Chains A and B, each alone.
Chain A
């Protein structure tokens, strides 16, 4: 029988880790991830997790020891956020091209400066271009389920890539709700046998040189480099199919059908839609319900998988509406908008139709994205749908709080 518990998102992630039975977990504490590291440590102390727990001197080493263990054949997990992720970036950047199926939670946190220990997705969004799979969760149960699914996705032979399971600092890390912990034997059957280093290993029984110098002004080096790069791109594209299949398998076995890539909410007859990512989606759905109650034909498009960008799934949803309000919990300083918004604009190009879209930025530095904020998002989006010229700059939702 699955065990029902009341827990926050950090504990839920720790239960997901426990059920996935990793060989090694490395941790270094950082707010708001710390309690996740503590839960895992306690689970190891209690024998619930039988992994080698490496409590090391910093995030850089956290990911480095996991890379080493993974190259020797281990299943591995860690979690971090914010400055920890920034400090980890050197090995982080290298994990996808090494094709190491490491799973790491990012308990998303806003960036410094000013000094900030509260939620926001600036950390995860800043590292989105280097080849990690990124999935963003909406609630506590989805955190637990996605951590388990992440191992199956990462270790799939057509993927072999690291996965970030992102859950919002504060709102999911500390937000408590009821959750169900699946039975161990069911998870064992779901995950199957691990094989993390069939393709690249540091093992005297299979000697190989890992990561030789590759390049030059021409010839074999750079062309080999291109093959590595294309292989990584292919793995990312394969991941879209694998993520979908794994979610379907999960739904069949455990009865919880999470949208794998993009979720549509009340979109079928919608004229315009708001676009969300992460835990803000709960309040956004309530606002959509209220607006629907008032007769507004508004829908919602939620991105769960952000990397690789699920272009096909996104176009299928985006093509159903005529105006968009995209809400980001992070800033793209280069384009003066939210990062998800910029991605949506790139996707819209494929529709060969120019529809109005507004960038909303909110929920920074821990601020709450309430139903009222989404009411405003819906109003502004409806206005551009009705023909009002859209703003040329982002709308900052918490600017006047």
Chain B
């Protein structure tokens, strides 16, 4: 994995167009108070969210650097900052054409390329922003820290394009580490060859196929024996929703009740995506699947999804959380807590896992699907720890977007009628109400 670097991020809904950032930049870089001298530009449009930004992203593969004919531009491998060497710059403007973000311009007086250099890592614009619209994104810091850990899955596993589960399992196992036994029951993770195919394996730590039905039980047996002989070994389940909420539920329930010391990660892609997208108990109401098809008489699934993470809260687990790959920082924090909790009992993380192949959306929309699932409260992100005895929203959504803004990103909901959408909105509202009741003030 390549390094991740700092960059300035903007949350447009928080921007009030005050220009303080541009003034601060102009002061620091040019000694003026003229916003047009700044190295970033924010233009308020007609509509509230239609703002234009001109700002260097400090790209991982900067086009400006690639097209520069004089070698004046370079990306620092340590800091990631793309900088201009004015003594080399010939003022040809090729970089300004190559940049899609208008993040580099020609200095009107010097006739040299000029751009944001993150003020060396402590940007003035961010410090001047009173509304919090600008921030120096630190998630990259986490990626960088975890990126140094070894990826314990080999490259070239046959996940589908844009697979959310691949993202999650690689990051998870990096952090959980090699002193681990990994269980991947039949499903997407095992199906792509995590355990292996015909004598070759894709995992660098002990890994096995449990049955679809007994993941938690087999891990419990392994863990108990290592405890007996005084060895501390981590048990990690990477299971789908079928092996967790449907046919695997009995063994999961028993293991949770007994307080087995397991990290159980459920990758919920809302159905049997590995075998052709059939319905599971976590498939949401109205969704098309290959066994809840859409036709004259049937219009997708007729029942709501089983609310498994809430059920697990009521199951003596040490730690329960929901997660989504659009909020990796949130996931990392939860995984840290799960690792600790699994030393005392079961830690269960339910990861929302949108499936481009089975849900019918473009792989490039994966993170947007995740963001809108959370923004609409379809997938509320929360955690529960037995010690704290309370549920806590980790990404509270004060003003949720309508569920249809989420639903219509996805092909499996394309057919929904107004009544079906209303049903889903009512379900979402009701489930948020129940979750809020579990929060102790």
Contacts and interface: CB of A to CB of B under 8 A. Distances in A.
B169 to A, nearest CB: 15
Interface in A35-94: 52, 54, 56-58, 60-61, 64-74, 90-91, 94
B217 interface: yes
B229 A73 contact: yes
A214 B250 CA distance: 28
Given A24-B225, A60-B250, A210 B213 contact: no
A61 B181 contact: no
A41 B214 CA distance: 24
B179 interface: yes
A208 interface: yes
Interface string B191-222: 00101111111011111111101100111111
* Most B Cβ at <10 Å: residue of A64, A204, A210: A64
B200 to A, nearest CB: 7
Interface string B17-28: 000000000000
B317 to A, nearest CB: 15
A65 B255 CA distance: 10
Contact of B195 (A65, A68, A94, A212): A212
Given A204-B206, A209-B201, A220-B199, A69 B222 contact: yes
Interface in A208-246: 208-216, 219-221, 224
Contacts of A183: none
Contacts of A201: 206
B140 to A, nearest CB: 31
Nearest to A68: B221
B56 to A, nearest CB: 45
Given A71-B208, A202-B206, A214 B222 contact: no
Contacts of A94: 211
B225 A209 contact: no
Contacts of A210: 195, 206-209
Contacts of B257: 57
A219 B224 CA distance: 39
Nearest to B197: A213
B195 A213 contact: yes
B229 A56 contact: no
Nearest to A219: B198
A174 to B, nearest CB: 29
Interface of B: 178-181, 190, 193, 195-201, 203-211, 213-214, 217-226, 228-229, 233, 250-251, 253-255, 257-258
21 contacts: A52-B228, A60-B217, A61-B220, A64-B217, A68-B217, A68-B220, A69-B221, A72-B222, A74-B225, A74-B228, A90-B214, A204-B179, A204-B181, A204-B205, A208-B201, A208-B206, A210-B207, A210-B209, A212-B201, A213-B193, A219-B198
